Structure 1
Amino acid sequence: MKIYENRTFAQLNVGDEAKLTRLCTVDDLYAFASASGDHNPLHLAAYDGDGDGQPEAVAPALWPAGLVAAVLGNVLPGAGTQTRRADLSFHIPVLAGDELTAFVSVAEKRDDGDLICTAEVRRVGDNALVLSGTVQVTPPAQHMEFDSIEVPGLVVQRHRHFDALLEKARPLDPMPTAVVAPEDGNSLSGALLGHANSIITPILVGDPDKIKAAAAEIDADISDLEIVEAQGHGLAAHRAVDLVVEGKAQTLMKGYLHTDELLHAVLRRENGLRTGRRLSHVFVMDVPGMPRPIMVTDAAVNIAPDLETKADIVQNAIHLALSIGIETPKVGVLSAVETVNPHMPSSVDAALLSKMAERGQITGGLVDGPLAMDNAVDLKAARTKGITSEVAGSADILVAPNIEAGNMVAKQLTFISHAEAAGIVVGAGAPIILTSRSDDDASRLASCAVAALHAYANKGKLYG
């Protein structure tokens, strides 16, 4: 079907006009900054231009001017148009979130074959004048009719979902957090980052000399932080759990020790943090281009979970999703196929978990499976396969059949799709922040925020 048709000089008349409407988004401004090299913080919501205490993303003047170019190049005169001169005045700033309409009208047909066009850009809603002026163009030499030209899609690698989590966590009182053996610069810096952003209040548990040496290594001042002496990683883990049991800390954070040592203390029979459910790990992932955060579980704790363990994994993830503000979490239980195959145990487990949720054995969310990865996260793929489900195509939580699959999904999202990942262990009487040496600041800070929100949502009770 024909979509575009241009017009030559002979086909145009004075008074001919056209318009296009476009919403200005923050992502548009990041894409413009990348293409133009203009990294003015005023345009990237990093500068408070009017002094009201709130940074606004103000579009560069050439962004609304680009809408005029879009009308000229796409509609009037259309494909093949070349701009020779522009005389434009800019009247009011454009902010991210404004919807604009660009108007172009032929004002003069010159003897040399050029056109003089008037141009306006107005804000939709109040009709405020954003831009006005004239543009001289050379229209296309020949008439063409053609389908739309496919332009590669752009994904702005911005992590808006983590920004939203931090905004939710910052108004809360900083969460007292027992940091276990922060005895190197890497593990200590993660705790200090959460402290600097008022997300957590670290209580440093371990060898005081090593902790102070780690602080010196990264040139950090820890004089205002409490240090609880515990010689040896095993003793530090047990002392940190004691702080939670005593009510002095509400979260745990892994430092420079093996995860097994920390979890051994968490699961001790006397004064431990057992809840009756298995511990499981959840990645909360901010994937650029996805309209929602994606949670992946379990990629770090349970190697080959049986059905009972998977039920706990699902329930733990639902509880965490509720804590971070997902009202009705949608759980996609992954397999290689979307139909039950008795020779593929993961598909059978997925179907059983779905039925358990229907019968109230798993609560708080919607559970469906088996689902393959594509039809769990992509609505078009789910519809193509003929899957009718409230979860298919819009899953918030992806439940992997085993640790290998979960780890692969999480790492692919991180290193191929450029996701940021916050990781915590749930299922105990306190969330446990697990950070990796390869985590950047955004991931570490988001892990603190997720744990703080979960601890706050479940304050005063044992939870998953």
Structure 2
Amino acid sequence: MDREHEKYQRLIDFCRSQPPIATAVAHPCDRSSLEGSIQAKELGLITPILVGPSARILEVAALENLNIADCPIVDVPHSHAAAAKAVELVREGRAEALMKGSLHTDELMAAVVSREGGLRTARRVSHCFVMDVPRHENALIITDAAINIAPTLAEKVDILQNAIDLGHALRLQEVRVAILSAMETVNPRVPSTIEAAALCKMVDRHQITGALVDGPLALDNAIDLDAARIKKIDSPVAGRANVLMVPDLEAGNMLAKSLSFLAGADAAGIVLGARVPIILTSRADSVITRLASCAVASLVAARRREEARVLG
């Protein structure tokens, strides 16, 4: 498993066999966001609808020698209008996914969660990283490291269910969630351990479904079997987790960035809990990471289509 990006490449290769998803790209007005959209289109992952000031989009395309002749452009005057229009395209059924361009995440998400004309569902919106960590056998899902700052127990229920649903969309044979804390025992002085125990009991009562869930677990005994054995933790999740749920945004952000900058991991990002998957990319993302984010969104959209067919 030492081959660079092997897990992402498998994901992308699988999605290339699926129909591309129509994706509203909000304000793709710099090289990285526009190029990422075009590269994903060329691989057959998405069919981009470019939403933003048409003159700026055409200028960037000409400057960077990007072929956007086959991409429809929806002309709006600025980034705020681009976010609103991209959301409108989803509501009209013209797009199955959203993709962040060169605008602030807060600006896009404000349009998504707007009570009038947004894309809210009964679920709390949350973010997942799908991380390709070198020398780790499988991809790791980490949630939530980007949106919910200090989630309550009620909000963590949705965050956890969103991550479990993502695991199924990624076709994991078994979704195994470790609810992380600083220790693996329940300690009344550490609130995250109490909430982890409560979430596990909610799983037992089928309030949260679709996965094996255990916690609290420390990071070492969540992902390393030897560490779990040394601590004598008897659990089908300990040492084998493929989903890591962090106690708050600070912990998640530090975990994800530690893996990226110290372990050479890549971090594809997706926002769940809205009507459609939302692809969050950064100017610092590599090409393979951008493509993997699009592939994840494609699988989420495909899963939702399957569920819609089953329901009727």
Coarse TM-score class (shorter-chain normalised) = over 0.9
Question: What is the Cα-based RMSD across aligned positions, in Å?
Answer: 1.3
Task: Give the Cα–Cα distance (whole angstroms) in 2 for the partners of residues 318 and 216 of structure 1.
Answer: 42
Distance 2:191 2:62 in 1: 52
CA distance in 2, matches of 1:181, 1:433: 13
Give 1:23-102 correspondences, 5 Å limit: none
Aligned pairs (5 A) from 1:96-245? 156-245=2-91
Aligned mate of 2:92, from 217, 238, 246: 246
Return the offset for 1:235.
1.3
Tell me which residue corresponds to 1:325: 171
Q: Which has the higher contact order (CA 8 A, sep 6+)?
A: 2
Using the alignment, how far apart are the partners of 1:336 and 1:242 within structure 2?
A: 43
Among 249, 255, 262, the alignment partner of 2:108 is: 262
Q: CA deviation at 1:461?
A: 6.6
Shift of 1:230: 1.4
Matching residue of 1:274: 120
Cα displacement (A) at 1:269: 2.0
Instruction: Quote the Cα distance in structure 2 between the aligned partners of 1:459 and 1:306.
Output: 31
Structure 1 counterpart of 2:215, from 369, 385, 401: 369
1:245/1:229 CA distance change after superposition, 3 Å: same
Cα-to-partner distance string for 1:289-341 (whole Å, 9 max, x where unaligned): 11111011111000111111111110000111100111321110000000000
- The residue type equivalent to 2:211 in the other structure is G
The 3-state SS of whatever aligns with 2:305 is coil
Is the contact made by 1:315 and 1:362 (CA closer than 8 Å) also made in structure 2?
yes
**What amino acid sits opposite 2:150 in the alignment?**
A
Contact 1:329 1:397 (8 Å CA) reproduced:
yes
1:144-171: per-residue Cα shift (whole Å, max 9, x none)?
xxxxxxxxxxxx3522211211122111
Write the letter of the residue equivalent to 1:328. E
Taking the aligned partners of 2:174 and 2:91, their CA distance within structure 1 comes to: 31
Distance 1:420 1:193 in 2: 18
Pick the aligned partner of 2:270 from 420, 424, 432: 424
Cα distance in structure 1, aligned partners of 2:3 and 2:149: 32
Bigger radius of gyration: 1
Task: Flag as ranges the 4+ runs of structure 1 deviating above 4 A.
Answer: none
TM-score (norm 1): 0.65
- Structure (1/2) with the larger helix percentage: 2
Amino acid at match of 1:380: D
Partner of 1:300: 146
Between the two proteins, what is the percent identity of the paired residues? Answer: 52
1:314 paired to 2:133? no
Structure 2 unpaired stretches of 5+: none
Count of residues paired in the alignment: 308
Question: 2:250 aligned with 1:404, yes or no?
Answer: yes
Q: TM-score when scaled to structure 2?
A: 0.96
C-alpha distance in 2 between matches for 1:157 and 1:218: 30
Deviation of 1:460 after TM superposition, in Å, equals 7.5
